[in-house]
Amino acid sequence: RQGWMDRLKAGLRKTGTSITTVFTGTRIDDALYEELEDALLMADTGVKATQHLLEDLKRRVKESKTTEPAAVKGLLAEALTDLLAPLQKPLTIGEHQPTVLMVTGVNGAGKTTSIGKLTKHLADNGQTVLLAAADTFRAAAREQLGVWATRNTVEIVSQEGGDPAAVSFDAVSAGKARKKDVVLVDTAGRLPTQLHLMEELKKIKRVVSKADGTAPHEVLLVIDGNTGQNALNQVKAFDEALGLTGLIVTKLDGTAKGGVLAAIAQEKPIPVYFIGVGEKVEDLETFNAREFAQALLA
Ligand code: GDP
């Protein structure tokens, strides 16, 4: 546990340094709040969440009657923790067999890597997993998923050049027949502006529900934490098209834009089931609001 917190702290230092230097002065005055506003905006916290945090912080400072800038940092950590709290929710597996997770994202967000990490995480917890390679266009994507399947000794349903919705249907049907705990459907990366590809995702979702009336049980979006406000826009667009139930935020090991989680909490509070803190398979952690706030302001 400690190891990953250190990595998260080290990673978020890029985001946090400009925020924490605000509190090195000697007075709590307008200049401090202005500097803090700039630092939060620079960290991609967004206008709304920044405004919210500043107001909440000023209230807390007044209540505490403190005159020490250093103490303000602690109060900001509390304000940030409260803002982020709605994002903290565990992914529940087990209410359905199989639990069907559909995983979406733009290219390069870390979707395939995250599916690999998640597969290991689930397998380590004793869950049986079946992977569905619904990215039928890119051979490399299928191969990469195949590598994760082999490495974790889980089954995979894959078909070259087939219809992504048909592959997903087959995988969910197979998952039911083989009594798997989890079916992970990997979809091809796409931009929310590629409308025909967004229609394809809607189709996958529809067709999966034909294989199992209650599926998909989760529609996840993988976002690159390094892309800041762009990531927030992706959350909004994918949610509008598909109705997202959860997020995986990757690359928090070394981003200057970690404030985007506050923006998401303020504008589109969809649970962050996991965060990616490195390229290795074990670098996936559950999101904890307090830990994140403390790491950001460490
Ligand atoms: P996809 O196109 O969304 O499937 O993206 P990939 O899973 O192929 O990942 C793109 C790149 O991001 C790869 O080089 C991954 O190793 C890297 N990556 C994914 N997640 C993380 C993370 O949490 N931290 C870091 N540092 N790199 C990551």
- Whether 93 and 99 have beta carbons less than 8 Å apart is answered as yes
- Whether 163 and 207 have beta carbons less than 8 Å apart is answered as no
List pLDDT tens digits, range 62-89.
999 999 999 999 999 999 999 999 999 9
Percentage above 90 pLDDT, the chain: 88
Give the pLDDT confidence score for residue 195 in this predicted structure. 95
List pLDDT tens digits, range 59-69.
999 999 999 99
Strand 284-286 vs strand 272-276: parallel, antiparallel, or unpaired?
A: antiparallel
Judged against a pLDDT cut of 80, whether residue 115 lies above it is answered with: yes
CB atoms within 10 A of CB 276: 23
CB atoms within 10 A of CB 54: 17
**Which residue's CA lies nearest to atom 12 of ligand 1?**
110
Give the pLDDT confidence score for residue 117 in this predicted structure. 96
Using the Cα atoms of residue 198, residue 46, residue 253 and residue 82 in order, give the sign of their dihedral.
negative
Residue 275: which pLDDT band, with cuts at 50, 70 and 90? very high
Give the pLDDT confidence score for residue 71 in this predicted structure. 95
Does residue 187 have a known ligand-binding role?
A: yes
Residue 13: which pLDDT band, with cuts at 50, 70 and 90? confident
Give the pLDDT confidence score for residue 255 in this predicted structure. 87
List pLDDT tens digits, range 24-49.
999 999 999 999 999 999 999 999 99
Give the pLDDT confidence score for residue 213 in this predicted structure. 95
Reference 88, options 295, 293, 296; nearest CA is 293
The mean pLDDT value for 235-256 works out to 96
Does residue 58 have a known ligand-binding role?
A: no
The mean pLDDT value for 190-207 works out to 96
Percentage above 70 pLDDT, the chain: 99
The verdict on the CB of residue 278 being under 6 Å from ligand 1 is yes
Reference 225, options 19, 8, 2; nearest CA is 8
Please identify, by atom number, the ligand 1 atom nearest to the C-alpha of residue 277: 23
d(C-alpha 293, C-alpha 124), whole Å = 28
- Determine phi and psi for 46, rounding to 5 degrees: 85, 155
| Residue 167 CA to ligand 1 centre (angstroms) | 24
| Residue 113 CA to ligand 1 centre (angstroms) | 6
Please identify, by atom number, the ligand 1 atom nearest to the C-alpha of residue 141: 4
The verdict on the CB of residue 111 being under 6 Å from ligand 1 is yes
Judged against a pLDDT cut of 90, whether residue 8 lies above it is answered with: no
Give the pLDDT confidence score for residue 51 in this predicted structure. 98
Please state the pTM of the whole predicted model. Answer: 0.96
| Residue 107 CA to ligand 1 centre (angstroms) | 10
**Which residue's CA lies nearest to atom 27 of ligand 1?**
279
Ligand 1: which of 7, 14, 131, 279 to mutate, most ligand atoms within 8 Å of CB? 279
The mean pLDDT value for 263-285 works out to 96
Give the pLDDT confidence score for residue 2 in this predicted structure. 56
The verdict on the CB of residue 258 being under 6 Å from ligand 1 is no
HEC letters along the chain: CHHHHHHHHHHHHHHHHHHHHHHHCCCCCHHHHHHHHHHHHHCCCCHHHHHHHHHHHHHHHHHHCCCCHHHHHHHHHHHHHHHHHHHCCCCCCCCCCCEEEEEEECCCCCHHHHHHHHHHHHHHCCCCEEEEECCCCCHHHHHHHHHHHHHCCCEEEECCCCCHHHHHHHHHHHHHHCCCCEEEEECCCCCCCCHHHHHHHHHHHHHHHHHCCCCCCEEEEEEEHHHCHHHHHHHHHHHHHHCCCEEEEECCCCCCCCCHHHHHHHHCCCCEEEEECCCCCCCEEECCHHHHHHHHCC
d(C-alpha 58, C-alpha 290), whole Å = 20
Please identify, by atom number, the ligand 1 atom nearest to the C-alpha of residue 106: 3
The mean pLDDT value for 133-156 works out to 91
| Residue 273 CA to ligand 1 centre (angstroms) | 17
Residue 298: which pLDDT band, with cuts at 50, 70 and 90? confident
The verdict on the CB of residue 112 being under 6 Å from ligand 1 is yes
The verdict on the CB of residue 113 being under 6 Å from ligand 1 is yes
